[in-house]
Amino acid sequence: MTTPVSPALQFVLAAVRRDGDAAAARAQAAAGVADWNAVVTAAIRHDVPGWVWRALPAVGVPADARGALEETARMLALRSLAGVRELLRIVRALEDAGLGVAAYKGPALAADVHGDVAARRFTDLDLLVAERDRDAARRALLAIGYQPPAGLTDREERFYSTWEGVAHFVAVDADFPVEVHWRVQAPRYGGPQDPAQIVRGARRCQLGGGAVLLPAVETQAVLLALHGVKHAWTSLLWVVDFAHAVARERFDWDHFDTAAAQWGIERAAHIALLVAHELVRLPVPAGRLARARRDGAAVALADDAVRGLLGDAASPNAGRASTPRYDVQWLGSLTARIRYLALAAALPTPQDRAVARLPDALLPLAYPVRAWRLLHRALGRRA
């Protein structure tokens, strides 16, 4: 790790580790901390206050710093419990409608991977359903009080969500927006898109007095690698999610490799392994780590992500805006890049709606509107 790391961040990184040297690393990092309020700030900024609070040494931490982390963790726990209740209500409604549904991220991930529903902050509840069940899932959510976001007509919601594979819902009496994913990833990224197989192979896990389906362990790890790389690993929480998912006993590395290859995201998997190994000392089999290090583009992108998370002002942080320039770097093959650029240029997004709000009957015109918007942006930059 070449980027200088503050004592506060050193302790935060040690707090989230699970390897055999984690306890010694925490003790060593704690001895170097002079400003525990800086630890509080770093823990909250990196979305890991619960881990840091539990890792605090018994003595030497000012009461105000300890209390701030404890209160943050307590509030997170209360919100997580509310999320569990709402998630179970939604899952029950979808299953009562005869649908298979798997929980993705949120409190279910926290309970499964970290053993604590309050281990991670989340802003919404994510669900995976088979593509054929998209409309039925929508009806089930409408029946329990959820609606598409305000301002979208029914046809607009369907039109603009078609190519992203995710539908958004909100409810007046619920604190958590809901995202129903009926594609694993948008078409521009390639790979399998219909989550039907993931839902079929999901495992049932106990959660808050109920039960939910979760993706198979190795599939979950691939999903977390894909999520992290698409967002350029700009949150330490995502690194911890992936590392703890992979570090479980009897993790099937061959299954993980096969799934990543089938989805066409080997480079994303390489980046995930490199970032987690560097930041939180994820134990990675030597052969797989060597293979990841032979991927020059993966090494460069992982280094950018690590430097960005460590606060290196000189880091290019190429992916923070999730731009095509960044995406084509982590997509491994020329074919994948051409597909991405072609579909990204052709398929309308909600941002195009903001440029030109079209009546429902004229929504197909969103295709030329997108082409015009991209051409206008390109010409403007050239000028």
> Which among 298, 326, 167 is positioned nearest to 231, based on CA atoms?
326
CATH number for region 79-215: 3.30.460.40
CA distance 202 to 356: 41
Least confident interval from 36-40, 65-69, 168-172, 344-348? 344-348
pLDDT at 203 over 80: yes
d(CA 131, CA 147): 19
From the list 260, 276, 277, 278, the residue with the least C-alpha distance to 268 is 260
Does the pLDDT value for residue 362 go beyond 90?
no
65: β partners: none
Instruction: Kindly list the domain boundaries of the chain, sorted by start residue.
Output: 1-61, 79-215, 216-320, 348-382
Query: 89-103 pLDDT, tens per residue?
Result: 999 999 999 999 999
Of the candidates 24, 81, 18, 28, the residue with the CA atom closest to the CA atom of residue 48: 18
**Distance between CA 244 and CA 206 in Å, rounded?**
19
pLDDT value at position 276? 98
Q: What is the pLDDT of residue 51?
A: 93
| pLDDT tens column, 2-44 | 678 999 999 999 999 999 999 999 999 999 999 999 999 999 9
Kindly state the tokens that stand for 204: 């049932």
Residue 320 has pLDDT above 60, yes or no: no
User: Alpha-carbon distance 301 to 230, whole Å?
Assistant: 11
3-state secondary structure of 206: strand
What confidence tier does 379 reach under pLDDT thresholds 50, 70, 90? low
**Is 50 exceeded by the pLDDT of residue 382?**
no
Q: Rounded to an integer, what distance in angstroms lies between the CA atom of residue 46 and that of residue 14? A: 13
